[in-house]
């Protein structure tokens, strides 16, 4: 069985000494996948292909021409296109669909000799915070198999958590990389919107969707960001900013940092008591280290979740309109004419949560309601961004819990879906304002469930965020 490695540098060191090969690594991960099928983390494993790729990487290492990711075995979320491979977004409507091209990020990862071992389960079309909304069934948290792993990138997080790969790539629309990372005790990074290409990523909400790594170390998150980031002619929303080396310096910050934390995260009765105490513990650590840590009130806190869901559902309604049984996707056998093709194919092909979001999104975009909901939400989003930017002009970072509670039980059904949506209360601020955010593993609660805290900083300052995150975890 493959031992657990914290970083790629550890793997490279053992490859250089001859202790392991990439092929042996892949075989070890495949054994772990086989032993943990009950977790339901993978929708498909690329077993033979991964072994052949590993042999090729071993050869390139011996020749001295291997890329930066040689030795890294990666899993990708099942909404990331990989030429010649199936991609379904964990939905029946795309079951057995094979991608005819690769996403930009897959091309960049492969160019640096990463081995892609499989595609991971996720909430259908990345819509959910528990990974229970999947056509392929729920994913189980390796720390407690009665609990959810978080969503929507739950399969990606569990694949890393259970040692079935070294790192994974997810997507984060409203917290879908950060929340699973928190629930699984891992590092989850959502870069600045416009930092990584979305070309070849199945769209949910295009003004929010962002690719991000899930790793065991800051070092690996930084390396993966560096390789995936940068301009791409296929994505016009990308920034032209140069891509620096994101690898952390491992040094104490050169100056005292000013950190703001949300007062509501400590005072609200809706936040789990151990999540609160975890936050307070790190606030005290930062103060004892000489940093300035102050509470702030975010007056727009109550508007974060409704604003996010109005806009995300509207964009989902538009993006998912193409899956109709005619242009693309599953076609119902009960279809007899155009209308029944649309109605039956979409009714049978989409799951309950996706249908709910499409219908709500269509409603807020409809005549008579557009100004009352969608247009108003856009205005509030601008206010949220301006308020967040103003805080980050005064402070270096914002510190908040990643989620208001640890991983909750599988099958916990809420009568009101809004209650479930409120699980995103701490992650959607970064999504609405477009700033980078990272979830960091900060220990376990009394039941052994992982807890995570989140740091936000200014647009395109991932270098500073990763540097401080490395320091933060060493406190």
The catalytic residues are: 77, 152, 176
Find all residues with CB under 8 Å of 358, minimum gap 6, and list them: 313, 316, 317, 320, 350
**Gap between the Cα atoms of 147 and 217, Å rounded:** 24
In contact, 467 and 249? CB cutoff 8 Å: yes
Taking the C-alpha atoms of residue 263 and residue 266, their distance in angstroms, rounded to an integer, is 6
Cis link prior to 433 (omega < 30° from 0)? no
Residue 130 tokens read as 């528990």
Q: Both tokens of residue 273?
A: 């008591």
Backbone dihedral region for residue 185 (phi beyond 0: left; psi -120 to 50: alpha; all else: beta): left
Q: How far apart are CA 352 and CA 318, in angstroms?
A: 17
Tally the C-alpha atoms within 13 A of residue 406's C-alpha that lie toward its C-beta: 25
User: Is residue 329 within 8 Å of 323, Cβ to Cβ?
Assistant: yes
* Edge-to-edge strand ranges of the sheet holding 167-172: 42-45, 115-120, 73-77, 167-172, 210-215, 187-190, 437-444, 450-456, 397-401, 258-262, 292-296
Give CA separation, 305 vs 85, 299, 314, 423, 430, in Å: 35, 13, 14, 9, 12
* Cα 139 from Cα 331, distance rounded (Å): 27
Residue 246 DSSP label: -
Backbone phi, then psi, for 196, in 5-degree steps?
A: -125, 140
Q: How many whole angstroms separate alpha carbon 210 and alpha carbon 177?
A: 9
DSSP conformation class of 94: G
User: C-alpha angle with apex 224: 31 to 187, nearest 5 degrees?
Assistant: 70
Rama region for 131: left / alpha / beta (φ>0; ψ in -120 to 50; rest): left
Q: What is the three-class DSSP state of 117?
A: strand
Assess contact for 316 and 358: CB atoms under 8 A.
yes
* Residues sharing a CB contact under 8 Å with residue 132, sequence separation 6 or more, in sequence order: 123, 138, 148, 151, 410, 411
């Amino acid at each position: 069985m493959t031992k657990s490695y914290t970083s790629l540098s550890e793997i490279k060191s053992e490859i250089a000494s001859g202790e392991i090969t990439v092929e042996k690594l892949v075989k070890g991960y495949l054994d772990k996948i086989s032993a943990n099928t009950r977790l339901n983390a993978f929708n498909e494993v690329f077993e033979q292909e991964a072994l052949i790729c590993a042999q090729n990487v071993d050869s390139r290492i011996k020749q001295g021409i291997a890329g930066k990711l040689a030795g890294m075995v990666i899993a990708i979320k099942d909404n990331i296109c990989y030429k010649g491979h199936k991609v379904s977004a964990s939905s029946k409507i795309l079951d057995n669909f094979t991608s005819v091209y690769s996403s930009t990020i897959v091309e960049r990862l492969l160019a640096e000799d990463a081995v892609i071992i499989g595609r991971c389960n996720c909430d259908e079309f990345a819509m959910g915070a528990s990974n229970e909304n999947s056509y392929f069934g729920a994913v189980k948290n390796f720390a407690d198999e009665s609990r959810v792993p978080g969503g929507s990138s739950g399969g990606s997080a569990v694949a890393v958590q259970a040692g079935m790969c070294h790192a994974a790539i997810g997507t984060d629309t409203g917290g879908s990389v950060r929340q699973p990372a928190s629930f699984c005790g891992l590092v989850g990074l959502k870069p600045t919107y416009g930092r990584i290409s979305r070309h070849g990523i199945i769209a949910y909400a295009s003004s929010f969707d962002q690719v991000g790594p899930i790793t065991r170390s800051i070092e690996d998150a930084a390396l993966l960001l560096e390789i995936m980031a940068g301009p791409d002619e296929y994505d016009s929303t990308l920034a032209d900013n140069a891509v620096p080396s994101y690898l952390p310096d491992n040094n104490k910050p050169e100056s005292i940092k000013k950190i703001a934390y949300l007062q509501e995260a400590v005072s609200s009765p809706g936040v789990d008591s151990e999540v609160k105490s975890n936050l307070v513990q790190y606030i005290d650590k930062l103060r004892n280290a000489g940093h300035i840590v102050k509470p702030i009130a975010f007056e727009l806190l109550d508007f974060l979740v409704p604003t996010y869901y109005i806009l995300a559902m509207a964009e989902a309604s538009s993006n998912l309109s193409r899956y109709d049984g005619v242009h693309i996707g599953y076609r119902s056998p009960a279809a007899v004419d155009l209308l029944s093709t649309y109605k039956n194919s979409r009714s049978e092909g989409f799951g309950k949560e996706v249908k709910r979001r499409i219908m709500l999104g269509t409603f807020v975009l409809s005549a008579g309601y557009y100004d009352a909901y969608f247009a108003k939400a856009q205005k509030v989003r601008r206010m949220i961004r301006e308020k967040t930017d103003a805080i980050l002009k005064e402070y270096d970072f914002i510190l908040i819990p990643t989620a208001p509670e640890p991983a909750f039980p599988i099958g916990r059904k809420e009568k009101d879906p809004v209650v479930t949506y409120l699980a995103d209360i701490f992650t959607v601020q970064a999504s609405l304002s477009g700033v980078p955010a990272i979830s960091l593993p900060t220990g376990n609660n009394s039941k052994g469930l992982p807890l995570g805290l989140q740091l936000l900083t200014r647009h395109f300052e991932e270098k500073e965020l990763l540097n401080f995150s490395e320091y933060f975890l060493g406190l």
